[in-house]
Amino acid sequence: MKVKLVVEDEGRVAEWEIGHSLVAGLIGYDFPLPPPDHPLVDLLSRHPSSAVRKQVAESFELPEDVLKRLEADPIISVREGLVSGHSTTKERLSHAFLTRIIQESIEAADRVIFDLSEFGEADMAEITKALISHSDPAVRKRAAENDVGSKAGKKKLKADDDVEVRKAAKDR
């Protein structure tokens, strides 16, 4: 896939092919965000560079087909980008995806904990259960510190095998 910068002025056209890293960098900053149905969103979400796909996941409001494709992306950083991305995209992430990414990525689990209210359509009971029963005690501790979970979940954190998790839960 080639990406070109095209500048038009009074009938003159200048084109310049730009590299993958420049495309990813442009998207992440002052890039004008196209509407979800714009062909650019679909094209860039299929870019061979995972850095570009990650920036698309983080920066753009995504149509449903692109969202589902990026939820299944083979590169974890792209999937993590969905969790830290545009709020209207985050609220449409499936609970199956969120449960899976929480287990795959501590970074994603942390993001879910901090932005829990933004994940609207997901089954929060399943998500909080995945967080408070995570295999990594750092995630369980962060969940306890952020008061995540039901009474039963908080009770489970207070009885956790890890002393730091128990301490964080008791301080709440």
Residues 6+ apart with CB under 8 A from 38: none
Whether the predicted pLDDT of 26 surpasses 80 = no
- Structure confidence by residue, pLDDT tens digits, 86-121: 877 888 998 899 999 999 999 999 999 998 888 876
Residues 53, 20: Cα–Cα separation, whole Å: 10
Q: Hey, is 149 helix, strand or coil?
A: coil
Whether the predicted pLDDT of 162 surpasses 90 = yes
Q: Are 55 and 81 in contact (CB under 8 A)?
A: yes
Instruction: Write the DSSP symbol of residue 105.
Output: -
Residues 28, 22: Cα–Cα separation, whole Å: 10
- Structure confidence by residue, pLDDT tens digits, 49-94: 999 899 999 988 899 999 999 999 999 999 999 999 887 788 899 8
Burial 74-112 (b: 16+ CB within 10 A, else e): eeebbbbbbbbbbeebbebbebebbbebbbebeebbbbb
Q: What percent of the chain has pLDDT over 70?
A: 97
Residues 21, 51: Cα–Cα separation, whole Å: 7
Residues 118, 44: Cα–Cα separation, whole Å: 25
| pLDDT confidence tier of residue 5, bands split at 50, 70 and 90 | confident
| pLDDT confidence tier of residue 8, bands split at 50, 70 and 90 | confident
Average pLDDT of the residues in 135-162: 94
Q: Are 3 and 18 in contact (CB under 8 A)?
A: yes
